[in-house]
Amino acid sequence: MRHDPHPGGMMRAAEVWGERWSACESSLSRRYMETVVAKQSLVILAADRYTMAGLSELLEEVSDHVVALKTHVDLVEDWSASAWSEFVDRAAAADMLIFEDRKHGDIGKIARDQMGGAYDSRNWADLMTAHLISGPSVLDGMAEAWKSVGREGGVLLLAQMSSAGNLLEIPGYSAAVVAVGQQHPACFGFIGNGSRPDELAQLRQLVGEGRMIWTPGVNIAVVDGELGQRYGCPRQAVISGSDGIIVGSGIHRAESPSDAAKAYAEMSWQALLERGA
């Protein structure tokens, strides 16, 4: 059952989001912003568990505090179309967007056909990531894939990354990605670097109010992670312009994922209110 975005006494999405609400006119953006207000959370869970049972258990534990699930469908060792369809339906019933972190990077035709391949992501992913290295046709192809099955979807373009030494830090790259994304209706928003608040604030200046920015690289325990991952403070990421914090191990490796998700939700929500409309 979808959360009521306007229960008695709760602030309305337009009041919380201000100019972002006015400028982001896509139905997916509005749905996301309403869910944030309903759940009082900006938490996107990186659901990095490798079995359907593990994913289902995690969903049950955190659904009250999570607004979207970031998946890697090809990591699931016992994946089947029927089990995945059931999982997606349960996530939708809990009012969570499905965000497949596919990072498409090929030309538009290939990206379109990949979305209709073995995993048929066009039929269940609400949002997907993409690199712009091959040019704007990747956005066209992904939009065509969703349109072919009568669905609306959105692309998050990688404008920044949180891993050490990534090549998106090359001068001018982020600005070029933003310039393309701002002009394309399939672009839901951008991936920013949650571990570096100054860089994130600069990205927000480039993006303006018309697109979302979601950020990995955040953890309440601000430390460096495995294999070059860097972490920053979730609160500071939101203050600096993030509209959604992508959290993985800080939740799914916690002793109580439910309690951890609640803590991230409370921190991110208070930061959004502090940031102000």
**255 φ/ψ angles, rounded to the nearest 5 degrees:** -60, -40
Q: CA 261 → CA 192, 256, 258, 267, distances in Å?
A: 21, 9, 5, 10
Contact 154, 189 (CB under 8 A): yes
- Report the alpha-carbon distance of residue 90 to residue 107 in Å, rounded: 33
Say which residues have a Cβ less than 8 Å from residue 174's Cβ, sequence separation at least 6: 159, 160, 168, 203, 206
Among residues 96, 40, 51, 100, the alpha carbon closest in space to that of 75 is found at 51
Q: Pairing mode, if any, of strands 68-71 and 127-130? A: unpaired
Answer whether 200's CB lies under 8 Å from 241's CB: yes
C-alpha dist (Å) from residue 77 to 48, 57, 96, 98: 12, 16, 23, 19
> What positions carry a catalytic annotation?
103
- Angstrom distance (rounded) from CA 212 to CA 45: 17
